[in-house]
Structure 1
Amino acid sequence: MKQIGKVFIAVGLGILFLGGMLDADGMYYVFLLIAIALGAVIALIGVVIIDVEKLREEKRKADFNMIRRNDKLDADVEFLVEFEDKKIAP
């Protein structure tokens, strides 16, 4: 998804720069402004895609670490329970 976001940003910025270099008169000027606005929206969509992907990656890492932590805690509990049966007679 990050690659798709980068493509959206590149296309949006390309449209912005190309629209900024062009010159138009009358009705075509309105079309040029619409194209520039569309380029800005496309670039913004790319930034949002990358941000969402970063949040998902952080959540995935946190979940993975929590699962590993729970496994370690479960292993410790089983380890302690294992020695509970072998009591030393007084």
Structure 2
Amino acid sequence: MAKDIPFPLSMDWSTEEIVDVIHFYEAVDAVYTKGYDREKFLEAYRRFKQIVPSKSEEKQLFNEYEETTGQSSYHAVQAARKSDDKVIKL
């Protein structure tokens, strides 16, 4: 992913939370570009959900991310949940 693409973030988050959310977005990118360890991806998503517990806010952030990158965080999460493979790739 190009480093100049802004990630959808909230100014209400702490620095640590921003870093963790960016880590999740980078994991989504990895799922699309090269494949990513399923357990690590689900761990990153669980942390994302601690920061963004609201379904509506999650959906808004996922939509913003997809508009910017063309990658669906939702589809990456669904693939990880439904797969038994060690590595997920879309």
Give the TM-score, by structure 2 length: 0.32
**Structure that is richer in helix per residue:** 1
Give the TM-score, by structure 1 length: 0.32
**Structure that is richer in strand per residue:** 2
Larger Rg: 1
